[in-house]
Amino acid sequence: MSAFIGVTAHWICQKTFKRKSAALAFKRIVGSQTGVVLAKKIEEVITFYELHGKVTKVITDNGANYVKSFKLTEEETNTESHDDEPECFVPVEITDLLSEVDVSATNVLLPEHERCSAHNFNLVMSKDMDAYSFSTNFASLRDSTLSKCKEQNRSSKVADLIKSKIGRYLLTPVCVRWNSLHKSLKLVSKVFKTQNDDICGVIEALKIEPFSSREIEFLDEYVKVVDIVANALNVMQGENFMYTGLSTPTLLHVQEKLDNLPSLQYCTELCGAIKTSIEKRFPKVLDDSYLKATLLHPFFKNYKFLKNDRANIRLRNRLI
């Protein structure tokens, strides 16, 4: 299978203040996609378009190879810096070292790196929730409910039966898009509310164990909680209206909405896990650069939009 790297540019027009975008390159990568190889490819594009000194940040996903490509340039520009932690020597295979060494990769300088916020949000609800240690009660209720929601995937015969009963196919989640699972569960929850007799007919025809009242209540509650994150993800992955200045308000709004949910019977653990994951993956949400970007956005000229106490204190002390 061939590997490629795509590079796009995004900027704000100085006359209209509208966001502009352009595709700069789509390059084939021959061999391994190591950090060295990716660093050289990115610099080739920047050099070709004479963009050195003009690029504010380079945004990539959280892939280890991309992260490493920017760490390589950081190491070159900080050769005299020292870590507080003692150096640790770990034995490695000589073949691994040889595959990473590339003498032609020296003097590669890349702009500051930023991990994609939308991809981070996807990881909050996929990788982090899968790895979180939920209680046995929550995990078993979640797994039993979700497994029944995926019955359509068993065969085309099952899918056709569902369509004949409720008038449409259910949505099939895809592994690379977490919010597709949310949309699928949201539709199932809606069908239970509006076409309960029809969905019960499907369950009876498939001869599967019916949804218990607890499972139906859990599904409704689960969708309400996750809907908050899904709406924020829609903002962050927007093409035309997503700016750095929207990151802090969006993340704080998610935390506020989760805190203000009515008393939850089943998904309190889920709320806590989401908030913990957001704090871990977005540690810079209250950094000066993010807050300044927010204040420069016309929609957030008034700093009082930040109800978060830590944000208000930081703004008062640093920016006002």
- DSSP string spanning 204-267? HHHT-PPPPHHHHHHHHHHHHHHHHHHHHHHHHT-SSS--GGGHHHHHHHHHHHHHTSPPPSS-
Question: Whole-number mean pLDDT of the chain?
Answer: 81
Cα dihedral: 207, 215, 169, 235 (round 10) = -160
User: The whole model's pTM is what?
Assistant: 0.78
Q: What integer is the mean pLDDT of 183-203?
A: 89
For 90-117, give one letter per residue: b (16+ CB within 10 A) or e.
eeeeeeeeeebebeebeebebbebebbb
pLDDT band for position 308 (cuts 50, 70, 90) = low
Q: How confident is the model at residue 312, as a pLDDT?
A: 58
288: left (phi over 0), alpha (psi -120 to 50) or beta: alpha
Q: How confident is the model at residue 317, as a pLDDT?
A: 58
Across 197-201, 232-236, 289-293, least confident range:
289-293
Most confident of 136-150, 164-178, 196-210: 136-150
CA dihedral sign, ordered 222, 228, 229, 235: positive
Q: What integer is the mean pLDDT of 40-65?
A: 91
Query: How distant is the alpha carbon of residue 58 from its chain centre?
Result: 17
112 has which bridge partners? 57
Q: Which residues contact 53 (CB under 8 A, 6 or more apart)?
A: none
Q: Two tokens at 6?
A: 């795509």
Q: How confident is the model at residue 46, as a pLDDT?
A: 94
Q: How confident is the model at residue 92, as a pLDDT?
A: 44
Q: How confident is the model at residue 315, as a pLDDT?
A: 56
Q: What percent of the chain has pLDDT over 90?
A: 31
Q: How confident is the model at residue 313, as a pLDDT?
A: 58
Asked if 113 and 179 touch (Cβ cutoff 8 Å), the reply is no
Q: How confident is the model at residue 226, as a pLDDT?
A: 93
Residue 235 CA to residue 62 CA, distance in Å, equals 19
Residue 4 CA to residue 102 CA, distance in Å, equals 20
In one-letter notation, the amino acid at residue 291 is L
Q: What integer is the mean pLDDT of 231-236?
A: 90
Q: Which residues contact 146 (CB under 8 A, 6 or more apart)?
A: 185
> Is 304 or 258 the better-scoring residue by pLDDT?
258
Which stretches within 32-105 are classed as H helix? 35-48, 64-77, 94-100
Q: How confident is the model at residue 132, as a pLDDT?
A: 94
Task: Tell which residue, 262, 177, 172, has the closest CA to residue 221.
Answer: 262
